[in-house]
Amino acid sequence: MEFRFAAILVSINLLLFFDACLCTATTPIYSSRLIHRFSDEAQQLWVSKRKSNGKSNTQGAWPEKKSLEHMRLLLGGDLQRQRLRLGTQNQLLVPSQGGQTYNYGNDLGWLHYTWIDVGTPNTSFLVALDAGSDLFWVPCDCIQCAPLSLSYYYMLDRDLSQYSPSHSSTSKHLSCSHELCDHGPNCKNPKEHCPYTVKYLSDDTSSSGFLFEDQIHLASVGGNKQPSTAWAPVILGCGSKQSGEYLDGIAPDGLMGLGPGGISVPSLLAKSGLVPHSFSFCFDKSYSGRLLFGDQGPTSQRSTPFLPSKGKYVAYIVKVESYCVANSCLKPTEFKAQVDTGSSFTYLPHETYEQVAAEFDKQVNAKRIKAQGFDYCYKARSLKLPSMKLIFSMNQSFVIENPMFQIADNQGDLSCLGIHPMDGSDGIIGQNFLMGYRMVFDWEKLKLGWSISNCQDIGDSREVHPTSPPSSASPKSLPTIEQQRPHSGHAVPPAVAGRAPPKPSAASPPLLIFTEILWESVMEVGLLALSLRSLPLVYIPQFTTRLVKGSLTHVGGFAFGTSPYQKNKCVLTTNFVWRTLDILLIA
């Protein structure tokens, strides 16, 4: 195989020579000597430098050419370079348990939830997802919290948790002097612990406590890369006292605000340089879905710009130019609407609501029934529903896949229209209108994007078990960012005072997984091409052993297990314990 390397080197030399010939006599040429780090010249420079520093012993410190140690060092440098290069590219991040979202129906208020791991060691929380507010809070050192025992939630398979800052080695107090401390001016001493209180539009619904900085566990996904663990510092509320609907079964384990304010998780991830200031939700028709941080959507998506409120961009507000029922686009039905994943249903200004509901009822061939809280319900098992769509700015149409939902009432099974009237001239586009779409909240480009999706073709749904951050590497500190905006509430239903101890998940050790191996001959290993899902090809020369079917084999310092091969291809399984060189450990 050595002649292949020679051919490559010749090609490079020819290319350099050709480039030089393009320069004219009057063109200045700037040159620099290239010295390979393990060349004879580099060795002479290294020895000279050591001697000048009084270190005369250089025996065995320089790798012998074409030795195993030489190749290990080269490979280590390649991998380090790849990590640096990959680290500068945009990636998608999901919560380390996969980023799947869940809707438990009326039992947990029709909101979407996801599991998120916080702190070191990690503790898992089932948090409600809310694009209508900013703060991420969890039950913590509870004085008045929702019950957290599994016995209260038949749809779950584990107890819920509460956060204890004293049990997390990465937890830090947020002081009143921090610019993200909204109550800072009211503190007696700037070094005091920053308090918070966030109120929502629902009657007497709030969360209060103190702010902390800690880490959330994430996984990078996308393309053909192997998912890897990441840790990111965020600010979270230690919610010791909840009230209102947060004591009645909604968001019992906390809420993640995904708004554009400086204190929100998407904002902090972007400020840390991990991902663009953008995220996506995808809700499929079975009420599950996916959350992706850094997602700016496909190029084929439709979009509409976000609008400012009183001259400032503070929420995901869009302009609805018209509301159409079947072929009838009703006028005047222009209004502004906040896109809010924390609202289960959609709310329209009174006048618009009356027009839309009346037109819808006229076109439905079924008897209308009023159910508690819903004015437009129908008992028919199969309804012929008129299509509905919103027309946004720039004539961008947004088809509402299914505006109806099913409930069981004392009158039997009913299908109800999931819209409600609200006071004022603005509206709220809630979760029920977002079903079947990949919704992209791109704050960098100030636009809302959407594309039809089954939610299974986005990123990678594999779970990456959280591990503790390396002790040798201190995590990034939170960046300095603009003052958080006041928390604008909205109708978020929450959970009867109880207390449960934190329940950290067990951390999994890092694994190095080779997905496939190609070789030139079935038995004798010449030049191996190891195809890693997270790295390009890595080449290992022939020093090693035979590749034996179905056995544990050592190749160039690796130890790996093989499954039966087909032709000259061997697919490795994850049923083995992988032992590698230190330079090849990939979490």
Which residues touch 392 (CB under 8 Å, ≥6 apart)?
304, 318, 319, 320, 321, 398
* Catalytic site includes residue 204: no
Residue that has been written with the tokens 């991902």 in this structure: 275
Q: Which of 117, 130, 253, 295 is catalytic?
A: 130
Q: Which residues of 397-408 are buried (b: 16+ CB within 10 A; e: fewer)?
A: ebebbebbbeee
Query: Are the CB atoms for 95 and 291 separated by under 8 Å?
Result: yes
Amino acid at 59: Q
Q: Which residues of 171-201 are buried (b: 16+ CB within 10 A; e: fewer)?
A: bebbbbebebbbebeebeeeebbbbbebbbe
From its phi and psi, is residue 149 left (phi > 0), alpha (psi between -120 and 50) or beta? beta
Element (H, E) at 419: strand 419-422
Q: Of 493, 119, 462, 466, whose CA–CA distance to 290 is shortest? A: 462
Instruction: Kindly tell me the sign of the dihedral angle through the C-alpha atoms of 271, 275, 278, 284.
Output: negative
* Catalytic site includes residue 340: yes
Q: Which residues of 544-579 are buried (b: 16+ CB within 10 A; e: fewer)?
A: beebeeeeebebbbbebbbeebeeeebebeeeeebe
Q: Which of 134, 159, 340, 460 is catalytic?
A: 340
Residues catalogued as catalytic: 130, 340
